[in-house]
Chain A
Amino acid sequence: EADIYQTPRYLVIGTGKKITLECSQTMGHDKMYWYQQDPGMELHLIHYSYGVNSTEKGDLSSESTVSRIRTEHFPLTLESARPSHTSQYLCASSDTARWDTEAFFGQGTRLTVV
């Protein structure tokens, strides 16, 4: 079934650890996004990609990095997790070939850094 998947759903990790949040979509979409959702539920764009080997930083400065080696895969990495990284991370994708450009969202990863 065409969908967008995020793993893990929940992650509790210690300070200083390296982590990778996975995001994969089976819809063949060219554009992918990472958003950070703060406790007040505000959505901040932290990274986006127009296609393979294309990545851009979003509006909110983030210490995370992303890669887009395959169309379907857009992982987000934190080299050294800190408590300030505790948040909900949402991945999304969209198809610019469609006229309506609807973005589809994953279920999110709730990250807690202790």
Chain B
Amino acid sequence: AQRVTQPEKLLSVFKGAPVELKCNYSYSGSPELFWYVQYSRQRLQLLLRHISRESIKGFTADLNKGETSFHLKKPFAQEEDSAMYYCALSGFQGAQKLVFGQGTRLTINP
């Protein structure tokens, strides 16, 4: 079974502070992990994926298979980072359904 857990529903940090959004997953096969973001009044969109090892808008995420985690990090938060963030999981090359965690609402305080 595929399962994604985001333990924090709400996270509030000050501008310029580091941010870490936690994500843990459960999956017996080879996972593909993603972070999606939903800004106010915009569509849900992909932020980054583990397979490409990219940094988008200053965010990075490392897949830790030993801890089954895929935490999202940014060293210096900006006000425009305020949004709803979802961790998502599918099987290798999208072979399985795409399931999401519960989401974390990130608020950056000025």
Instruction: Number of B interface residues at 8 Å Cβ cutoff, please give it.
Output: 26
Name the contact of A45 in the complex, choosing from B36, B44, B95, B100 (C-beta under 8 A): B100
Contact B45 A105 (CB under 8 A): yes
Q: Give the nearest-CB partner of A99 in chain B.
A: B93
Q: When chains A and B are docked, how far (Å) is the Cα of A103 from the Cα of B88?
A: 10
The reply to whether A35 and B100 contact each other, CB–CB distance below 8 Å, is: yes
| B78 touches A (CB below 8 Å) | no
What band does the interface of chain A fall in when counting residues whose beta carbon is under 8 Å from B? Answer: 20 to 34
Q: Is A75 an interface residue (CB 8 A)?
A: no
Tell me the complex Cα distance, A48–B86, Å: 19
Determine the distance from Cα of A56 to Cα of B94 in the docked complex, in whole angstroms: 15
How far is the CB of A94 from the nearest CB of chain B, in Å?
Answer: 6
B43-A59 in contact (CB<8A): no
* A-B pairs with lowest CB-CB distance, top 3: A101-B94, A43-B100, A105-B44
